[in-house]
Amino acid sequence: MNAIEAAHVTKVYRRYARRRQFATLKSALLSGTLLRDIKPDDVFSAVKDVSFAVPAGTTYGIIGRNGSGKSTVLKLVAGITKPTSGEVRVAGRISALIELGAGFHPEISGRENVFINAVMLGLTKREIAKRFDEIVEFAEMEDFIDAPVKTYSSGMYMRLGFAVAIHVDPDVLLVDEVLAVGDEGFTHKCLDKFAEFRRRGKTILLVTHALSLVERFCDEALWLDAGEVRGGGDPRRVVSAYIADVTKSEERELAAGDRKAQAIVAQQAAEAPPPALAPEPVEPPAEPPGAAEPPADMSKAVEGRWGTREVEIVAVELVGEDKQAGHIFQSGERVAVRMTVRAAEPVTDFVFGVGIFNAEGVCVYGTNTAIEEYLPERLEGECQVGFCIDGLDLVAGTYKLDVAVHQSQGATYDYHRSLYTFRVKSAVADMGVYRPRHRWEFSPHIVIARRRHE
Amino acid sequence: MFQNLARLFRYRTLIQSLVARELKARYRGSVLGFFWSFVNPLLLLLIYSFVFTVVLPSRVAPDLQPYALFMFCGILPWTWFSSSLLESSNVLIAGGNLIKKVLFPAEVLPIVTVVANMVHFFLGLPILAAFLLYYRHAPISLAEIAWFPVVILVQLLLTLGLALVVSALTVHFRDIKDLLSNLLTFWFFATPIIYPMSLMTEYPLSYRLLNLNPFTHLAVSYQEILFYPGPFGHWRWLLALGAASMALFLAGYFVFDRLRDSFAEEV
Report if residue A442 sits inside a domain. no
pLDDT category at B137 given cuts 50, 70, 90 is low
Q: Which domain CATH number covers A313?
A: 2.70.50.60
Inter-chain contact A103–B264, Cβ cutoff 8 Å? Answer: no
Q: What's the pLDDT tens digit per position in B248-267?
A: 999 999 999 888 888 887 77
Inter-chain contact B102–A80, Cβ cutoff 8 Å? Answer: yes
pLDDT category at B239 given cuts 50, 70, 90 is very high
Q: Which residue of B has its CA nearest to A117?
A: B14
- Let me know whether A150 and A295 are in one domain: no
Chain A partners of B103 at a C-beta cutoff of 8 Å?
78-80, 94, 96
* Range B231-234, long-range pairs (CB < 8 A, 24+ positions): B231/B141, B231/B143, B231/B144, B232/B143, B232/B144, B232/B147
Across A115-119, B7-11, B133-137, the highest mean pLDDT is recorded for: A115-119
Report if residue A334 sits inside a domain. yes
Report if residue A137 sits inside a domain. yes
Among A26, A102, A116, select the one facing B21 at the smallest CB separation: A116
Q: How many CB atoms lie within 10 A of CB B103?
A: 18
Q: What's the pLDDT tens digit per position in A62-77?
A: 999 888 888 889 989 9
Least confident interval from A300-309, A323-332, B177-186 = A300-309
Exposure string for A195-212, b = 16+ CB within 10 A, e = fewer: eebbeeebbbbbbbeebe
- Let me know whether A209 and A348 are in one domain: no
- Let me know whether A148 and A256 are in one domain: no
Q: Do A245 and A230 contact (CB within 8 A), yes or no?
A: yes
- Let me know whether A200 and A280 are in one domain: no
Among A26, A102, A108, select the one facing B102 at the smallest CB separation: A102
Q: Measured between alpha carbons, how far is A447 from A440 in angstroms, rounded to an integer?
A: 13
Tell me if residue A173 falls in helix, strand or coil: strand
Per 3-state DSSP, what percentage of chain B is helix, strand, and coil (rounded to 5)? Answer: 80, 0, 20
Chain B partners of A119 at a C-beta cutoff of 8 Å?
13-14, 17
* Boundary (domain end) residue, out of A244, A279, A305: A244
H-state helical runs in B11-66? 12-27, 36-50
* DSSP letter assigned to residue B179: H
- Let me know whether A95 and A210 are in one domain: yes
Q: What's the pLDDT tens digit per position in A368-381?
A: 999 999 999 888 89
Inter-chain contact A119–B95, Cβ cutoff 8 Å? Answer: no
Q: What amino acid is encoded at A73 in this protein?
A: V
Q: What's the pLDDT tens digit per position in A122-156?
A: 888 888 999 999 999 988 888 889 998 889 888 88
- Let me know whether A235 and A272 are in one domain: no
Q: What's the pLDDT tens digit per position in A26-40?
A: 655 555 555 555 555
Say yes or no: A82 contacts chain B, CB-CB below 8 A: yes
Q: Do A225 and A74 contact (CB within 8 A), yes or no?
A: no
Q: Which residue of B has its CA nearest to A38?
A: B172
Q: Measured between alpha carbons, how far is B72 from B144 in angstroms, rounded to an integer?
A: 18
Q: Measured between alpha carbons, how far is A318 from A184 in angstroms, rounded to an integer?
A: 40
Q: What pLDDT does residue B174 have?
A: 85
- Let me know whether A307 and A360 are in one domain: yes
Q: Which domain CATH number covers A54?
A: 3.40.50.300
Exposure of B203 by Cβ count < 10 A (0-12 exposed, 13-18 middle, 19+ buried)? exposed
Q: What pLDDT does residue A210 have?
A: 83
Say yes or no: A99 contacts chain B, CB-CB below 8 A: yes
Say yes or no: B17 contacts chain A, CB-CB below 8 A: yes
> Distance (Å) from the C-alpha of residue B150 to the closest C-alpha of chain A?
31
> Distance (Å) from the C-alpha of residue A231 to the closest C-alpha of chain B?
27
Report if residue A433 sits inside a domain. no
Q: Measured between alpha carbons, how far is A38 from B78 in angstroms, rounded to an integer?
A: 33
Inter-chain contact B264–A81, Cβ cutoff 8 Å? Answer: yes
Q: What pLDDT does residue B139 have?
A: 66
What is the domain count for chain A? Answer: 2
Inter-chain contact B97–A103, Cβ cutoff 8 Å? Answer: yes
Complex ipTM: 0.76
- Let me know whether A253 and A382 are in one domain: yes
Report if residue A277 sits inside a domain. yes
- Let me know whether A179 and A253 are in one domain: no
- Cα atoms found within 13 Å of the Cα of residue B135, Cβ hemisphere only: 19
Report if residue A444 sits inside a domain. no
Say yes or no: A76 contacts chain B, CB-CB below 8 A: no
Q: Per-residue DSSP letters for B230-265?
A: S----HHHHHHHHHHHHHHHHHHHHHHHHHHHHHHH
Say yes or no: A13 contacts chain B, CB-CB below 8 A: yes
Q: What's the pLDDT tens digit per position in B35-52?
A: 787 788 788 878 877 887
Among B102, B179, B265, select the one facing A96 at the smallest CB separation: B102
Q: Which segments of A119-186 are extended strands (E)?
A: 172-176
Among A26, A98, A112, select the one facing B101 at the smallest CB separation: A98
Tell me if residue B118 falls in helix, strand or coil: helix
- Let me know whether A417 and A300 are in one domain: yes
Q: Which residue of B has its CA nearest to A98?
A: B101
Q: Measured between alpha carbons, how far is B20 from B12 in angstroms, rounded to an integer?
A: 12
Q: What pLDDT does residue A88 have?
A: 92
Inter-chain contact A107–B29, Cβ cutoff 8 Å? Answer: yes
Report if residue A437 sits inside a domain. no
- Let me know whether A356 and A378 are in one domain: yes
Report if residue A271 sits inside a domain. yes
Residue-level length of chain B: 267
* Boundary (domain end) residue, out of A212, A244, A276: A244
> Distance (Å) from the C-alpha of residue B159 to the closest C-alpha of chain A?
22
Partners of A9 in beta bridges? A50
> Distance (Å) from the C-alpha of residue A82 to the closest C-alpha of chain B?
7
For residue A207, the enclosing domain spans: 2-244
- Let me know whether A278 and A230 are in one domain: no
- The region that residue B81 occupies, defined by phi over 0 for left and psi between -120 and 50 for alpha, beta otherwise, is alpha
pLDDT category at A281 given cuts 50, 70, 90 is very low
Among B17, B100, B176, select the one facing A80 at the smallest CB separation: B100
